[in-house]
Amino acid sequence: MPTTRDRKYKRILLKLSGEQLMGDEGFGIDPKVLDKMALEIGQLVGIGVQVGLVIGGGNLFRGAALSKAGLDRVTGDHMGMLATVMNALAMRDALERSNISSSVMSAIPMSGVVEHYDRRRAIRLLEDGEVVIFSAGTGNPFFTTDSAACLRGIEVDAELVLKATKVDGVYTADPVKDPTATRYERLSYDTVLADKLGVMDLTAICLCQEHDMPVRVFQMDKPGALLNIVVGGNEGTLIEAQGE
Ligand SMILES: Nc1ncnc2c1ncn2[C@@H]1O[C@H](COP(=O)(O)OP(=O)(O)O)[C@@H](O)[C@H]1O
Ligand SMILES: O=c1ccn([C@@H]2O[C@H](COP(=O)(O)OP(=O)(O)O)[C@@H](O)[C@H]2O)c(=O)[nH]1
């Protein structure tokens, strides 16, 4: 088992998609999945990694999908952001049940439910070893939680943004649709943008490029992958300035 001495990163920002929380269910939250994730996050905390967390809302609502069904887009995005707060509350509950201290902050003020996002306080909590869950995305419609993850990662001086997905990295094309697609080990922001590689939204990639924030895309379902990354393992794909 790795120890503090094996740790490569001191502070990371982990992005989980909402769909990951629903497990085999078609909608909502599967408590078994939450417990499994809490266990994996606890392993990072155990070796002294400071963990910021952004969770999506796609298991509940997505603004774009609601808009297709006839709802006003901005209203749909507000619903999507509120969905991320629900997921954050469920994750905090799972973390606390595993005796991992955690706090939820929201980009949208929600007095009495969660505290409002405050960068300096978030950094203090991270330094104290608490997992800080940043919810309600960026607080603005027309953005995604990928962008929120990169934004918060940059703001709190994380060394790496980790994007957990269903696939095990970035491919030359969507591997779900194109079985001949091949996986990159390392990749530049420029290539992701030029080839419009859809694993992460391009606004998020632009933000990371501008602030030199590396992103590692990896498969959350792979046992031990998360821990392996924070000790310097080569999981999935690393997106940075000097990629392929
Ligand atoms: N070039 C690509 N490389 C890897 N995955 C890609 C690529 N293009 C599209 N994808 C898709 O992007 C998805 C990203 O996963 P995720 O962010 O978890 O989904 P969501 O869009 O629901 O948040 C993957 O499920 C994958 O099918
Ligand atoms: O800054 C943000 C982040 C999210 N959302 C809304 O919240 C939904 C859920 O987030 P996302 O789709 O990123 O979740 P994921 O796909 O990661 O589960 C989005 O579809 C948007 O409607 C938003 O409006 N602004």
* Pocket lining: 98 vs ligand 2, CB cutoff 6 Å: no
C-alpha 200 – ligand 1 centre gap (Å): 7
- Residue 244: the pLDDT is 66
216 and 161 Cβ atoms separated by less than 8 Å? yes
217 DSSP β-pair partners: 163, 237
Please name which ligand lies nearest the alpha carbon of 72: 2
Q: How many residues does the chain have?
A: 244
Of 97, 138, 90, whose CA–CA distance to 114 is shortest?
90
**So what's the pLDDT on residue 85?**
98
202: number of CA atoms within 13 Å, CB side?
A: 9
Q: Homologous superfamily of 4-240 in CATH?
A: Acetylglutamate kinase-like (3.40.1160.10)
Q: State if residue 141 touches ligand 2 by the CB under 6 angstroms criterion.
A: yes
User: Positive or negative CA dihedral for 43, 47, 48, 49?
Assistant: negative
Instruction: Give the residue, out of 161, 199, 205, with the most ligand 1 atoms within 8 A of its beta carbon, to mutate for a pocket test.
Output: 199
Q: Is 174 annotated as a binding residue?
A: yes
Predicted structure pTM score: 0.97
CA 110 to each of CA 41, 86, 136, 145: distance values in angstroms, whole numbers, following the listed order: 26, 12, 10, 18
Task: Answer yes or no: is 232 a known binding residue.
Answer: no
pLDDT per residue, tens digit, the chain (244 aa), is 889 988 999 999 999 999 999 988 888 999 999 999 999 999 999 999 999 999 999 999 999 999 999 999 999 999 999 999 999 999 999 999 999 999 999 999 999 999 999 999 999 999 999 999 999 999 999 999 999 999 999 999 999 999 999 999 999 999 999 999 999 999 999 999 999 998 899 999 999 999 999 999 999 999 999 999 999 999 999 999 987 6
ipTM score here? 0.95
> Which of 60, 166, 172 has the most ligand 1 atoms within 8 A of CB, as the residue to mutate?
166
